[in-house]
Amino acid sequence: MDLIPAPSSAVRRPDGDFPLDATTTLTAPPGLADAERWLRGTLSAATGLPLGPGRPGAGLELVLDGTLAAEAYRITVRPGHALLAAGGPAGALWAAQTLRRLLGPDAYRRSPLRREGWVLPGADIADAPRFGWRGALLDVARHFLPKSDVLRFVDLLAAHKLNVLHLHLTDDQGWRVEIKRYPRLTGRGAWRERSMVGYRSGQRRDDRPHGGYYTQDDLREIVAYAAARGVAVVPEIDLPGHTQAAVAAYPELGNTDVVDTAALGVWTDWGVSPHVLNASEETLRFFEGVLEEVLELFPSEFIHLGGDECPKEQWKDSPAAQARIHELGLANEDELQSHLIRHFDRWLAERGRRLIGWDEILEGGLAPGAAVSSWRGFGGGVAAAEAGHDVVMCPEQHVYLDHRQADGPDEPVPVGFVRTLEDVYRFEPVPAQLDAAAARRVIGTQANLWSEFADSARDVDYRAFPRLVAFAEVAWSELPAEPAERDYPDFERRLRGHLEVLDALGVEYRPMDGPRPWQRRPGVAGRPIEGPPPVR
């Protein structure tokens, strides 16, 4: 059975096929209402079958099984009955996704191509995820994506049993979340005059204003839509660096004693802006106000506060920052950044939430209770895990999906490392040097898609897929820990069938033999390709 991600076990039972028709029913207990609602709505739309309520022991039946872990499930398909047993609501949603896949690519259509001939293959399937955090980062700060595109991306995550959407909402190039008490964050900070084309400093701009933001009701809708599909939305509000859009909106947040922040606009370059927050008590109060509204919108356990790529030059030159360092008894600017992170770590903990940040939060001392997104390779994650902190592994060398997929001259905007489909499939999130206790601190893994070079859903599709399919199997399935032992040819064989699912979903993925015609970059065969220095 060619399922992706590969289940723990799957046995085909040829004598157990279950034809579906207009009399087929769907039954579930109240505790699995989300899975029942999603399955009925999705399959009824694709098949044209009503799937009305029925009785236990017949039709499609969802049940709770207390012997299973929360995200685990079992599927048993026999003539007239498909039993989906799950340890909890999340497991029921993953079982429902697998059932849909058993019906074939046409089950992913939004309207029926046929109204008969639907057959569930007889099967015994048992499954559970390897990691609890199976994430994908979507950067909507560099290029804004309309809400409908974000909802579509949630559906694509859920279809591949990925359960965390890390939504990168703020950066130097734009602020995308409405904060009612600070309206200029979106009134001014959500719009830039133009954007860089490509990545080289001084390269031309497109001279098109770019921007947009999500209202608070938009974000409530995204969060609820994702939750009903088993996906948690983790917001990122970057600080103290990557904040030029905020400083452009509220100049008093910047280092006003060394730069005229009133003249700043939202940044039109890619990379890392030198304009960072000051470290005053007033700035802390400002971002506490921001986060109070963020917490009301996002019920996730973790709140991502960035903490990465914070240039220290303005702090070194600022008498106010140096006075602050002296007042707090800190040794240097690294400890000043750590002070800011520790402040918000405590602030979030007092409200029952947990801070997570990029691995730079290790510099100057790791905030107690904080978790780490390890992006600069594995080193930060190893150090954090060995110190007893939870880690999400997302090293840029392996799972940055904005990086190019091949070294040919026709790859669009050939940025970063070459990371092929096979490279992603052979990524192992848990470093071999960790002992058993530290390895348990690796709570999951995440693929990151930064959007400097992805200004539409079409570009997101091209960069994410099919590599995100390979990543989903790495995050879910129990693959050999040694990458060389993984059966990539078998995955590639299964993927070729899975591409029909992506076709039905309307995903404009990169074909396995190279870019589509509209995706190709004009160039000369054999022309060397040079990427920029890696940046987050």
pLDDT in tens, 202-245: 566 788 899 999 999 999 999 999 999 999 999 999 999 999 99
- What band does 147 get if pLDDT is binned at 50, 70 and 90? very high
Enumerate long-range contacts of 312-316, CB under 8 Å, 24 or more apart. Answer: 312/337, 313/274, 314/254, 314/255, 314/258, 314/259, 314/274, 314/275, 314/276, 315/255, 315/276, 315/279
Residue 166's closest CA among 139, 145, 141? 139
- d(CA 65, CA 32) in angstroms, rounded, equals 11
Q: Which one is predicted more confidently, 534 or 283?
A: 283
- The mean predicted confidence, pLDDT, of the chain is 94
pLDDT digits (tens, 9 = 90+) for 63-86: 999 999 999 999 999 999 999 999
CA dihedral for 222, 286, 302, 331, sign (positive or negative): positive
Q: Residue 206: what pLDDT?
A: 83
- d(CA 119, CA 462) in angstroms, rounded, equals 32
Mean pLDDT of 267-274: 94
pLDDT digits (tens, 9 = 90+) for 311-320: 999 999 999 9
- d(CA 165, CA 372) in angstroms, rounded, equals 16
Catalytic residue among 139, 171, 423, 508: 171
Mean pLDDT of 364-392: 92
Q: Residue 529: what pLDDT?
A: 39
- d(CA 367, CA 255) in angstroms, rounded, equals 24
Catalytic residue among 309, 333, 396, 410: 309
Which H/E stretch holds residue 295?
A: helix 281-297
- What band does 527 get if pLDDT is binned at 50, 70 and 90? very low
Mean pLDDT of 470-486: 97
Q: How many residues does the chain have?
A: 536
pLDDT digits (tens, 9 = 90+) for 400-439: 999 989 887 788 766 778 999 999 999 999 999 999 999 9
How many Cα atoms within 13 Å fall on the side-chain side of residue 381? 26
CB 104 within 8 A of CB 170: no
Q: Residue 533: what pLDDT?
A: 42
CB 232 within 8 A of CB 164: yes
State the angle between helix axes of 488-505 and 147-159 in degrees (0 to 180), rounded to the nearest 10: 140
For the question of residue 309 being annotated catalytic, the response is: yes
Q: Residue 105: what pLDDT?
A: 97
For the question of residue 482 being annotated catalytic, the response is: no
Q: Which residue has the tokens 């601190």?
A: 441
Q: Residue 151: what pLDDT?
A: 98
Kindly tell me the number of DSSP H helices and DSSP E strands found in the chain. 17, 20
Residue 534 scores a pLDDT above 70 = no
**Cα distance between the two ends of the chain:** 39
Catalytic residue among 210, 242, 275, 389: 242
Among the listed ranges 125-139, 197-211, 296-310, which one has the minimum average pLDDT value? 197-211
Mean pLDDT of 3-17: 97
- d(CA 436, CA 108) in angstroms, rounded, equals 40
> What residue type is assigned to position 394 of the chain?
C
% the chain with pLDDT above 90: 88
Q: Residue 199: what pLDDT?
A: 66
On whether the pTM is more than 0.75, the answer is yes
pLDDT digits (tens, 9 = 90+) for 24-65: 999 999 999 999 999 999 999 999 999 999 999 999 999 999
